[in-house]
Amino acid sequence: MAFDADRVETVTFDSYSTLVDVDAAERALADRIPDPGPVSRLWRARSIEYTFVANQVDAYQPFYEMNRDALTYALAAHGVDLPDAERDEVLAVYHELDVFDDVREGTERLRDGGYDVYVVSNGDPEMLASMVEHAGLGDLLVDTVSADEVRTFKPAAELYRHAAARTGTGIDRIAHATAGWFDVLGARHAGMQGVRVDRKGTPPEPFGGDPDLVVTSLFELADALGV
């Protein structure tokens, strides 16, 4: 790992699992089914898998619809039958996910330290707007960049290059912080510095090379940037 703080002008964040906690989705399932854990894990995994496949076979649809299809599969795979109205209620949790405790203060430190901060996410614009509002981050972020703008999901280089253009920053002057290992790899492949936000102490990924920096909170990222 060789994080170069002096090169960084702009910081981009992923959204889900990085700024907001997707575990709330499991809690929404817990109100409706007896064993929500396996369903929730398969739901999340399938939604990401669908985005990977969509990139390869030109089958883009907004991330909310990916989530809907993934939830439908996960429920069926575990023999759970939920009425459509209840599925919609579970899906709607993605508009109201809890923000991690370090996010607001950590982002504020970055902003006050002179860094422009953006969100770059697979989420569609409506999802991101509700996430920013619910998390109370609208005054700290310059903008959000959605995969919907290029109809291509992470970790495709096209999305990161589009984000760099939207920020007006050279791609090599951006640090992208994310909880997703594939997102770190995608950002680095496109030319950004990749920062792994690892709040859960997960093992390092042996595939694809190391992140430029690993942090356990946005406070540590702010420390690394000297703000």
What is the widest separation between alpha-carbon atoms in the chain? 53
pTM for this predicted structure? 0.95
First to last CA, the chain: 20
d(CA 11, CA 169): 10
3-state secondary structure of 16: strand
Per-residue pLDDT of the chain (227 residues; tens, 9 = 90+): 589 999 999 999 999 999 999 888 888 898 898 889 999 999 999 999 999 999 999 999 999 999 999 999 999 999 999 999 999 999 998 888 899 999 999 999 999 999 999 999 999 999 999 999 998 999 999 999 999 999 999 999 999 999 999 999 999 999 999 999 999 999 999 999 999 999 999 999 999 999 999 999 999 999 999 99
- The pLDDT value recorded for residue 1 is 59
Q: Which residue has the tokens 């809890």?
A: 98
